[in-house]
Amino acid sequence: MEFKFTEENLKRIELAREKYPTALAAVMDTVYIAQEQNGYISNEVMEEIANVLGIDKVYVLSVVTFYTMYHTKPMGKYHVQVCTNVSCMLRGAYDIWDQVKGKLGIENMQVTPDGKFSLEEVECMGACGYAPMVAVNEDYFENLTKDKVEEILDSLK
């Protein structure tokens, strides 16, 4: 499917481009903008990013496949990320992980059939003092209990 940036996003890319002496340096910002618009980074999206920045597609591919926050397939409307690293683990993160897995009925990096939820076990999110924690899309939920997790997941419509 063909992909084109919106006018507004083209302006944002231009601003990102101005931060750096090279076009290549704006690739990470541009991939973020593309992911925001398209939901994930397909082959066509990568081609358009390369086009807009005037760089070889190989560079786009190399970045997209290196960084874990870029997704090459569609994720759920709500991307649920559970940190299970040490500080969270010490405060029950694996119980939360099992709870979320059970409730959503999916495994790590899977999407529910209705496309509403996806799930990811993540590394330390910088919330260790407020553990355990879960992030949904861009928002952090900290100092969680099983009840709070239940409440958060139920509130996502």
Partner 1 sequence: MEKIVLPEIENLNQIDVYIAHDGFQSAKKAFAQTPDALIDQVKKSGLRGRGGAAFSAGLKWSFMPKSTDKPKYLCINGDESEPGSFKDRQIFEYNPFQLIEGVIITCYAIGAKVAYLYVRGEYHKWIKLMQNAIDTAYEKGFLGEKMKETFGTQFSCDLFIHKGAGAYICGEESSLMNSIEGYRGYPRVKPPFPAQKGLWGCPTTINNVETITNVPPIISKGWEWFSKIGAPKHPGTILFGISGHVNKPGVYELPSGVLLTDLIYNYAGGVPGNKKIKCVIPGGSSMPPLRGDQLEGVKMDAESLKEVGSAIGTGGVMVMDEDTNLLKVLLRITKFYHHESCGQCTPCREGTSWMEKTLHRILDGHGTSNDLDLLVNVANNIEGNTICALGDAAAWPVKFMITRFRDEFEKYVNPNISLPVPNKVHSMRQTAVPLEDISK
Select 56 or 98, whichever has its Cβ closest to ligand FES.
98
Give the residue from 120, 41, 107 showing the smallest Cα distance to 74: 41
62 binds, among partner 1, ligand FES, none (CB under 5 to 8 A by kind): partner 1
In the range 112-141, which residues lie near ligand FES by CB under 6 A?
Answer: 124-128, 131, 133
β-pair type (117-122, 134-136): unpaired
Residue 65 near residue 101 (C-beta atoms within 8 A): no
- Residue 102 interaction partner, one of ligand FES, partner 1, none, beta carbon < 5-8 Å per kind: none
What is the Cα–Cα distance from 122 to 7, expressed in whole angstroms?
34
**Smallest separation, CB 88 to partner 1 (Å):** 9
Chain positions contacting partner 1, by CB under 8 A: 19-22, 24-29, 31-32, 55, 59, 62-63, 66-70, 84-87, 89-91, 122-131, 135, 138-140
DSSP state of 93: H
Comparing CB distances to ligand FES, the nearer of 52 and 127 is 127
Q: List beta partners, residue 120.
A: 81
